[in-house]
């Protein structure tokens, strides 16, 4: 498909607005993870683990609430929700800094609670368009790059400005308030999907409770398998993200600020190139099945790279890059692109936000479960060893799920007798 000048302008403006908005959101969520909070405990538990659990609990609850809120979201409500939720997150960080330990940990829960719904709001501006793949993959690279970048900025404020590890999250967030307002304004200027978009990708509509239940009933088995895989991906991704400093330190990069950003930039570029090309696949079922092939590449990359590291055939830096690639080439599609094509392929009257948040609700439950298991059941094992074991487990489990899902969805689509998109619609 040719990209016309007007299309290119839309893609550029929408991608910049969405990327910038979500990038800024990470400044309110992730900087605290670069602090160590050494020699602090609560009820015999490492204080950093307490903070991570508190934020993940808030984030997980937010995803559960988002199943309803995001699926029912109207276009007129988006900006108000976006700015209001970010405001609550920053106020929570200020309260975290001003409240004595260990009582301040409750505010990390209230920081995570609003932020979990930002993704659904931002993606709602992009879904259901013929170029959603391109815009969506650019948006998704924001959470690959942003986590490392905002951690570097957080570490910089402590090392250079002398900001304490308790004030650092609020200070880092405050640095991004004005950019966030700018990008949020840009989001509001994006035009609504055209009639051609609606024909190719199905009009996206708010969903009520009955409609949500109907979708789950019709696709119970494939959704169960895919959500199980995504749950494992989320747990592994959060492990890598929240304990990036411990992993890099174990690999010999103690005190290296740049490594957090440089490694993720390589990952983002690879993911961007591969996933961005799927937009050229106009048939929605073929695109959905293509994503299965990409998911399989990701799971195999995780296992192979880890084996090569242990065989001393791969450097630690390249291992982190390749495992990051394998993780995010699987994780990114589930956050936007996979379910956008799922809705279009099966002509579902609804929106991708519902399926994304349904998966996320279970995903963060899995993340919290793994974190608790590591702390209480596998405390004697280092974070690096735990991460390596997780890479092998995800490689095997994910590969099996992807193969089964591929054949199930193909059979399901065939049984529903959908007509292929005509040649005229593709052009």
Once rounded to an integer, what is the mean pLDDT over residues 186-193?
92
Name 214's Cβ contacts closer than 8 Å, sequence gap at least 6.
none
156-186: pLDDT as tens digits: 998 889 888 899 999 999 999 999 999 999 9
Q: What is the 3-state secondary structure (H, E, C) of 24-35?
A: HHHHHHCHHHHC
> Facing residues of 46 across strands?
41
Task: Decide if 228 contacts 365 (C-beta within 8 A).
Answer: no
pLDDT value of residue 297: 95
Average pLDDT over the chain, rounded to an integer: 87
pLDDT value of residue 251: 80
Task: Decide if 205 contacts 60 (C-beta within 8 A).
Answer: no
Task: Decide if 368 contacts 56 (C-beta within 8 A).
Answer: yes
pLDDT value of residue 113: 95
Name 135's Cβ contacts closer than 8 Å, sequence gap at least 6.
11, 14, 15, 18, 126, 129
DSSP codes, 81-139: HHHHHHHHHHHHHHHHHHSPTTGGGHHHHHHHHHHTTHHHHHHHTTSSSTTHHHHHHHH
pLDDT value of residue 282: 86
Phi-psi region at 182: left, alpha or beta (left = phi > 0; alpha = psi -120 to 50): alpha
- Please state, in angstroms and rounded to a whole number, the distance separating the CA atoms of residues 41 and 329: 36
- Please state, in angstroms and rounded to a whole number, the distance separating the CA atoms of residues 190 and 129: 12
pLDDT value of residue 260: 63
291-323: pLDDT as tens digits: 999 999 999 999 999 999 898 898 888 888 899
Q: In terms of pLDDT, which residue wins out, 385 or 39?
A: 385
- Please state, in angstroms and rounded to a whole number, the distance separating the CA atoms of residues 410 and 56: 35
Give the confidence band of 408 by pLDDT, cuts at 50, 70, 90.
very high
> In a 3-state reduction of DSSP, which class is residue 189?
coil
Phi-psi region at 128: left, alpha or beta (left = phi > 0; alpha = psi -120 to 50): left
pLDDT value of residue 256: 64
Name 67's Cβ contacts closer than 8 Å, sequence gap at least 6.
212, 354, 357, 358, 361
Which structural domains are found in the chain, ordered by start? Answer: 5-426 (1.20.1250.20)
- Please state, in angstroms and rounded to a whole number, the distance separating the CA atoms of residues 359 and 369: 15
- Please state, in angstroms and rounded to a whole number, the distance separating the CA atoms of residues 397 and 401: 6
Residue 192 has pLDDT above 80, yes or no: yes
Residue 257 has pLDDT above 70, yes or no: no
Residue 423 has pLDDT above 70, yes or no: no
pLDDT value of residue 379: 66
Once rounded to an integer, what is the mean pLDDT over residues 334-341?
88
Q: How many other β-carbons are positioned within 10 Å of the β-carbon of residue 366?
A: 20
102: preceding bond cis by omega (within 30 degrees) = yes
> Facing residues of 42 across strands?
45
- Please state, in angstroms and rounded to a whole number, the distance separating the CA atoms of residues 336 and 357: 10
CA torsion sign, 88 to 94 to 100 to 102?
positive
H or E element that contains 239 = helix 220-242
Once rounded to an integer, what is the mean pLDDT over residues 275-282?
85
> In a 3-state reduction of DSSP, which class is residue 72?
coil
pLDDT value of residue 401: 95
Q: How many other β-carbons are positioned within 10 Å of the β-carbon of residue 412?
A: 16
pLDDT value of residue 264: 75
5-17: pLDDT as tens digits: 788 888 999 999 9
> In a 3-state reduction of DSSP, which class is residue 265?
helix
209-234: pLDDT as tens digits: 999 999 999 999 999 999 999 999 98
- Please state, in angstroms and rounded to a whole number, the distance separating the CA atoms of residues 328 and 241: 12
Give the confidence band of 367 by pLDDT, cuts at 50, 70, 90.
confident
Residue 51 has pLDDT above 80, yes or no: yes
Axis crossing angle, helix 337-345 with helix 352-377, rounded to the nearest 10: 140
Q: In terms of Cα–Cα distance, which of 82, 127, 67 is closest to 352?
A: 127
pLDDT value of residue 252: 76
- Please state, in angstroms and rounded to a whole number, the distance separating the CA atoms of residues 66 and 103: 27
Give the confidence band of 427 by pLDDT, cuts at 50, 70, 90.
very low
Task: Decide if 122 contacts 139 (C-beta within 8 A).
Answer: yes
Residue 147 has pLDDT above 80, yes or no: no
- Please state, in angstroms and rounded to a whole number, the distance separating the CA atoms of residues 332 and 336: 7
Once rounded to an integer, what is the mean pLDDT over residues 123-142?
86
pLDDT value of residue 424: 37
Widest distance between CA atoms in the chain:
66
Once rounded to an integer, what is the mean pLDDT over residues 32-45?
76
Residue 42 has pLDDT above 90, yes or no: no
Give the confidence band of 258 by pLDDT, cuts at 50, 70, 90.
low
pLDDT value of residue 313: 92
pLDDT value of residue 419: 52
Name 377's Cβ contacts closer than 8 Å, sequence gap at least 6.
none
Give the confidence band of 421 by pLDDT, cuts at 50, 70, 90.
very low
Q: In terms of Cα–Cα distance, which of 225, 257, 250, 233 is closest to 403?
A: 225
């Amino acid at each position: 498909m040719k990209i016309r000048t007007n299309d290119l302008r839309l893609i550029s403006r929408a991608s910049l607005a969405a990327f910038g908005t979500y990038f800024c959101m990470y400044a309110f969520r992730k900087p605290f993870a670069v602090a160590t909070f050494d020699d602090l405990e609560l009820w015999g538990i490492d204080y950093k683990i307490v903070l991570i659990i508190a934020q993940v609990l808030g984030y997980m609850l937010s995803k559960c609430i988002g199943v309803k809120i995001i699926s029912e979201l109207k276009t007129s409500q988006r900006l108000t929700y976006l700015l209001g939720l970010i405001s609550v997150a920053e106020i929570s960080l200020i309260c975290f800094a001003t409240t004595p330990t260990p009582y301040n940990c409750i505010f990390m829960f209230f920081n995570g609670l609003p932020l979990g719904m930002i993704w659904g709001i931002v993606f709602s501006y992009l879904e259901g368009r013929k170029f959603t793949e391109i815009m969506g993959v650019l948006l998704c690279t924001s959470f690959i790059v942003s986590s490392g970048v905002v951690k570097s900025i957080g570490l910089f404020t402590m090392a250079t400005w002398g900001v304490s590890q308790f004030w650092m999250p609020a200070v880092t967030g405050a640095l991004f308030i004005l950019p966030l307002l700018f990008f949020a304004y840009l989001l509001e200027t994006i035009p609504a999907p055209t009639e051609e978009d609606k024909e190719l990708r199905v009009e996206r509509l708010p969903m009520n409770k009955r409609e949500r239940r109907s979708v789950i009933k019709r696709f119970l088995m494939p959704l169960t398998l895919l959500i199980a895989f995504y749950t494992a991906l989320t747990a592994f991704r959060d492990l890598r993200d929240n304990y990036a400093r411990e992993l890099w330190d174990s690999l010999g990069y103690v005190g290296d600020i740049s490594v957090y950003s440089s490694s993720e930039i390589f990952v983002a570029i690879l993911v961007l190139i591969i996933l961005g090309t799927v937009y050229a696949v106009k048939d929605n079922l073929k695109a959905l099945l293509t994503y299965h092939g990409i998911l399989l590449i990701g799971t195999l990359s995780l296992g192979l790279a880890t084996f090569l590291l242990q065989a001393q055939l791969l450097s630690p830096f390249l291992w982190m890059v390749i495992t990051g690639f394998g993780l995010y080439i699987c994780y990114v599609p589930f956050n936007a692109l996979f379910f956008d094509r799922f809705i279009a392929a099966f002509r579902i009257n609804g929106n991708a936000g519902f399926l994304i948040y349904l998966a996320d609700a279970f995903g963060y439950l899995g993340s919290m479960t793994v974190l608790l298991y590591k702390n209480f059941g596998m405390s004697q094992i280092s974070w690096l060893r735990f991460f390596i074991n997780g890479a092998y487990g995800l490689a095997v489990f994910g590969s099996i799920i992807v193969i089964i899902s591929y054949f199930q969805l193909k059979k399901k689509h065939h049984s529903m007798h959908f007509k292929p998109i005509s040649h005229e619609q593709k052009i």
